[in-house]
Amino acid sequence: MLVKICGITTIEAADAAVKADADFIGFVFAESKREISPEAAASIAASIPTSIKKVGVFVNETVENMKRTAEVVGLDIIQLHGDEPAEVAEQLPYGIIKAFPAEKEALENLKTYPCDYCLLDTPGKRSRGGNGSVFDWSLLENLQLDHSNIILAGGLTPENVERGIKKVKPAAVDVSSGVETDGKKDITKIRKFITNAKQTRKDEDS
């Protein structure tokens, strides 16, 4: 089970994710309480092993700005978390994660979008992602999706990630607010989330 820890803003949180065996570390370059500057992200990214993919999260940003930020930080993957059309993804020479709100109409579109991973998130009323609420996982049951490239997000915590994995069977899980305490990344929660997520798939395979 692949695990993405998103909304990283400190070296301490990044180090905890690295030591706990995270597969992706995400930086938010969009309006958010977890927003980080490219320069600050680059400083943190310098301490992250090359085996862990560095993801930049953008919302309706220009291709030029995304490329510039990716170069400064050393991103491996760009996550498009807005209303970006397929043409935007096709212009980016990076791996692509495309976020889709868990609504039937939007989920139908993900089958043809040019991306490496489809991230399914709880629809946000005010902000894109990081809302801490779970969507109805049963929405995915009759859509005939390729679960080998799905990242499950939206309200996951160390306590419910096992249920989410067993219900949706994604390739990866993504968490941000679910490993925070008082709005800050919690080292203990990061470790527990990653351990529980990876142990779930091992239990299923055994």
**Which H or E run contains 12?**
helix 11-19
Active-site residue flag, 116: no
Q: Residues 152-168: pLDDT tens digits?
A: 999 999 999 999 999 99
- Per-residue pLDDT, 126: 44
Q: CATH number for the domain including 104?
A: 3.20.20.70
Q: Residues 42-56: pLDDT tens digits?
A: 999 999 999 999 999
Domain count for the chain, please give it.
1
61 in Cβ contact with 68 (< 8 Å): no
In the set 6, 23, 118, 174, the catalytic residue is 6
177 in Cβ contact with 130 (< 8 Å): yes
Active-site residue flag, 76: no
Torsion, Cα of 165, 99, 126, 37 (10° steps)? 110
In the set 115, 121, 146, 205, the catalytic residue is 121
Query: What is the distance between the alpha carbons of residues 27 and 34, in angstroms, rounded to a whole number?
Result: 8
Q: Is the pLDDT of residue 150 over 60?
A: yes
Q: Residues 29-82: pLDDT tens digits?
A: 999 999 999 999 999 999 999 999 999 999 999 999 999 999 999 999 999 999
- Per-residue pLDDT, 60: 97
- Could you tell me the pLDDT band of residue 204, with boundaries at 50, 70 and 90? low
Note down the domain range covering 6.
2-205
User: What are the distances in angstroms from CA 171 to CA 51, 96, 159, 164, 204?
Assistant: 17, 15, 19, 12, 13
Query: What is the distance between the alpha carbons of residues 114 and 102, in angstroms, rounded to a whole number?
Result: 18
39 in Cβ contact with 7 (< 8 Å): no
